[in-house]
Structure 1
Amino acid sequence: MAQSRRRRPASRPASGGRRPAPPRPAEPGPVLELDVERIAHGGVAVAHHEGRVVFVADAIPGERVAAQVVDAGRERFWRAETVEVLRASPDRREHVWPEASVDRAPEHRVGGAEFGHIAMPRQRALKGEVLHDALARMGGVEVEVVVEPVDPAVAPGVDVEAGTRWRTRVRLHVAADGTVGPYAARSHTVVPVTSLPLAVAELEAIAPLGRTLEGAVAVDLIAPSDGDPQAVVRSPDDRRTARTAAPTVVERVGNRRFTVDRDGFWQVHRGAAATLTAAVQDLVDPDRFDPAAENHDLYGGVGLLAAAVGDRFGPSVRVTTVEADARATEHAGANLADWIGARAVTARVDRYLDELAAAPDDAGRGLRGATVVLDPPRSGAGRAVVDRLAALHPAQVVYVACDPVALARDVGLFRAHGYELEAVRAFDLFPNTHHVEAVARLAAIV
């Protein structure tokens, strides 16, 4: 999705895909032998020790591992790091990123590739299990979901079987002594590396690995689909003045060009934008679609998914994209210029929906009969937006989600308003991480 806001750790220009946990204890905790049971939301495995839940990093369900406790400060659960695999899963493989391997001390394992030790089919199966479990527990629906790999035809250069060479945006951090590298998992410790296997090849070629960059704080690597790769060195006082135009890049999706701020949001997988465009087009029910209705793309960014709807149903489609970031809205207006009925609005989605609800019935701004594409941040739409949106009675909602739990919670909220989950597809847009993208259709049941 082509939003300019920063929203997902695995999708922003960063190599460490997980939020840092509390600092590691000064003294190592005990080493436990654990039988790993399942994968939890967030990419860690679940085990039990003397009745207590233990969340274990770098393990696979079915394995027996020795794991060192790194956080025992909670009564209900502990956190631990695998230090030795005692009985390996048949799905364990050599880690695709040597610096993230279980063979290294946990404090020196890079983040952002927490599933890199798992064979690709099992990775996708585990992600499907997490999505299924979330929808059952929080959404109240039982649905089996097959997580689909990205079609190589829309992702040139990506190794689908290895899950590598897909990241078009990477952030490297710079330590106080100038060392360049990603963060260690669940920390702010910079780890020097010799390779970036998840990055597209052209970014690895320009990455300043092995160099010292004193005075810098980060390096952003960007490989737009239209244009040369860039390495942007960040300093502590790196601030753009209001009078300085933000640099932009151009991204291509099929025959379409999208302008986006270089520092703005764009999906990091080389084939993600094309994959999500096709998925949204597939899941919009044409029998419920009215091109003359007040169709919307909420959290619309630079207009990627509004364009998907326009391309699916023709240039006369009415569609409004709503995005809080003014720069993204400015780009959306230009990117959607092909459609006579397209407009781009800068507004917070909740406030925008409040304005729609307050409009007179004859103002022509209702959503009855409309199709709404909903692409919220990682935290999901939430109760306030779902309640407001459902009260406006759109015919169908196509929900694009990067977090299974947030999606499941919102599915439950929609169902309470009479909207049922009719279809869901999931895509492996973040191989070798725990993240998964889902696209769902909810429709009002009459």
Structure 2
Amino acid sequence: MTPRTSATTENTAAGSTADAHAGEELVVEVGPVAHGGHCVARHEGRVIFVRHGIPGEKVRVRLTDAGDNAKFWRADVVDVLDASPDRVDHFWRAADSTRAWGHGHPPVGGAEFGHVSLDRQRRLKAEVLEEQLRRLGGTGQAPAGWSGAVEAVGEAADGGTGLGWRTRASFSVAPSGKLGMHAHRSTQVLPVREMPLATDAINALQLWDIDLQGIERVEVAAPANGSRPLVLLAPAEGTKPKRLAAVAAALPDDVSAAGFDPISGEVTRLRGRSWVQESAAGHDYRVTGAGFWQIHRDAPGTLVGAVTDFLHGGGFLHPGAVVADLYAGAGLFTAVLADAVGETGAVLSVEGAPGTSRDARKNLHAAPQVEIVQGRVERVLRQKPRNFDALVLDPPRAGAGKAVVRQLADAHPRAIAYVSCDPASFARDVSYFRDAGWELAGLRAFDIYPHTHHLETVALLTPLS
């Protein structure tokens, strides 16, 4: 239900596990933004990744990861000595670093840019994307096909606040049995009594008033179309079914509930149904359990529009075309591609997760031009080689990787629409495509995760002529 994750520039050096200086405070000048939700500062030659600052500020920071042998340290801002004009009051007390540390504990994660004006947030994200493309993508400069802007999404619904957009939310449970969230890079769970980034439908569940003893993790999906929400309960080891049922019974009557195993993905219905019905681009989609779906209420329509604009505009998507949707999930792009190619065309839809692939079969059973295959993308493409007009590529946060990119290039499609939620993995994949003789012909970036460091990109890749 949340964005898919991967390693980033935040990786620590091997052997630097000791935190000899954790808890110490320093005064630093905040330098440029870096990928991962922090800015770069320096102290006595040491690089410090600082969260909750803005480039150009002078701040006092508290070291959170600071081993003597570490290549770099990490820190949170605890006091702002010289503020940026783009600094604003944080909208969420639990995520406000200066306030939280003033009460003796770290802030919760998930809103690390909440102290920055939305306009500056988007400029910072644009800087990160451009830097990743230059450094990892091998472009040497910003791509000609990009305006340089990260586009706002959902302003008509949120009034320009960047709040209330999450239709999915993940929570942990504090030792007291209260709903909580983790501090960044920490096992500490801090109780919460609101989630301002979530939709009203999620906050209206009042999960913080429920005794969650015996539950380790809670996942919530509240579709933007207003259909029935689903609460997934991951029990702690040793929790008995009777306790799980008691928690489910404490939920509002119009909410579905299911048990959930985060490792296997197995879902056990407790009440109502074990899936939600989502809507986007004129289609309805069944999404079971924690199956992947974009978490911003306006993201599905926005991304579908960007993908189809690129493919239609280049003449790659038309009646009779042969296309593929790779890492297809429940079929968001597949359904729209099927509409575009019609019954004279063909769509290959590939998804690795068995449960999500079953959802796709249900969602697309009435589209005879669609072939749904469950399996790894590289294996399926080897087994089903075709002359594709276009491919849609929407990989996990780790990206497609060199082997898959090489295989896609060898399939010789006329174009690839690449949807990415991570600038670093996207830039690396762009470099692999460049090595294979492809170019970045178009690029758009979207702020579908306001008040966080995340962004989404949609790119058009074409072979060099």
**TM-score bracket relative to the smaller structure:** 0.7 to 0.9
Counterpart of 1:150? 153
Counterpart in the other structure of 1:178: 177
Q: Tell me whether 185-194 or 393-402 shows the greater mean CA deviation.
A: 185-194
Give 1:334 deviation, angstroms.
2.9
| Cα distance, 1:339 vs structure 2 | 3.3
Q: CA deviation at 1:272?
A: 0.9
1:98 alignment counterpart: 93
| 1:256 matches 2:283 | yes
Aligned residues: 422
What do the CA deviations read for 1:167-208 (whole angstroms, capped 9, x no partner)? 111122112331321112221212122321011011111132
Residue pairs, 1:32-431, within 5 angstroms:
32-73=26-67, 74-101=69-96, 102-105=98-101, 107-141=105-139, 142-143=142-143, 144=146, 145-152=148-155, 158-159=157-158, 161-224=160-223, 225-236=225-236, 237=239, 238=259, 247-284=274-311, 285-289=313-317, 291-356=319-384, 365-367=385-387, 369-431=388-450
> Which region of structure 1 is more displaced relative to structure 2, 118-127 or 172-181?
172-181
Moved more, 249-258 or 109-118: 249-258
Q: Could you report, residue by residue, the CA deviation over 1:349-394 in whole angstroms, capped at 9, with x for unpaired residues?
A: 12122324xxxxxxxx423x52000000000000010011111111
Task: Tell me the alpha carbon deviations over residues 251-302 of structure 1, each in whole angstroms, 9 at most, x when there is no partner.
Answer: 0114210111032111111111111111111111442346445310000111
**Contact 2:29-2:58 at 8 Å conserved across structures:** yes
Q: State the TM-score, normalizing by the size of structure 1.
A: 0.87
Highest relative contact order (Cα 8 Å, sep 6+), 1 or 2? 1
- Cα distance change of structure 1 residues 138 and 239 upon mapping to structure 2, 3 Å threshold: closer
CA distance in 1 between counterparts of 2:396 and 2:37 reads: 19
1:99 aligned counterpart, secondary structure: helix
Aligned partners of 1:19, 1:271: CA distance in 2, in Å? 32
Structure 1 pair 7–208 and aligned structure 2 pair: CA distance change class (3 A): closer
Alpha-carbon spacing, 1:62–1:347, altered in 2? closer, same or farther (3 Å): same
C-alpha distance in 2 between matches for 1:202 and 1:289 = 37
Cα RMSD (Å): 2.7
Task: State whether residues 420 and 458 of structure 2, in contact with CA within 8 Å, keep that contact through their aligned partners in structure 1.
Answer: yes
Moved more, 424-433 or 258-267: 258-267
User: % of aligned pairs identical?
Assistant: 41
Greater displacement, 25-34 / 83-92:
25-34
Greater Cα shift, 337-346 or 61-70: 337-346
- The structure-2 alpha-carbon separation of the partners of 1:305 and 1:151, relative to structure 1 and needing over 3 Å to count, comes to same
Following the alignment from structure 2 to structure 1, what is the Cα–Cα distance between the partners of residues 196 and 17?
27
Which one-letter code corresponds to 2:404 in the other structure? V
Question: Structure 2: which amino acid aligns with 1:429?
Answer: I
How far residue 243 of structure 1 moved from its aligned partner, in angstroms, is: 10
Asked whether the 8 Å contact 1:396–1:442 carries over to 2, the reply is yes
Aligned partner of residue 301 in structure 2, secondary structure: helix
Distance 1:182 1:390, change over 3 A: same
Amino acid at match of 1:8: R
Aligned residue for 2:454?
A: 435
Gaps of 5+ in 1: 11-17, 357-364
- Normalised to the residue count of structure 2, the TM-score between the two structures is 0.84
| TM-superposition CA deviations, 1:56-108 (whole Å, max 9, x none) | 01101111111122222244321111111011011111111111112221733
Would the aligned equivalents of 2:324 and 2:391 in 1 still touch at CA under 8 Å? yes
Deviates more, 1:250-259 or 1:421-430: 250-259
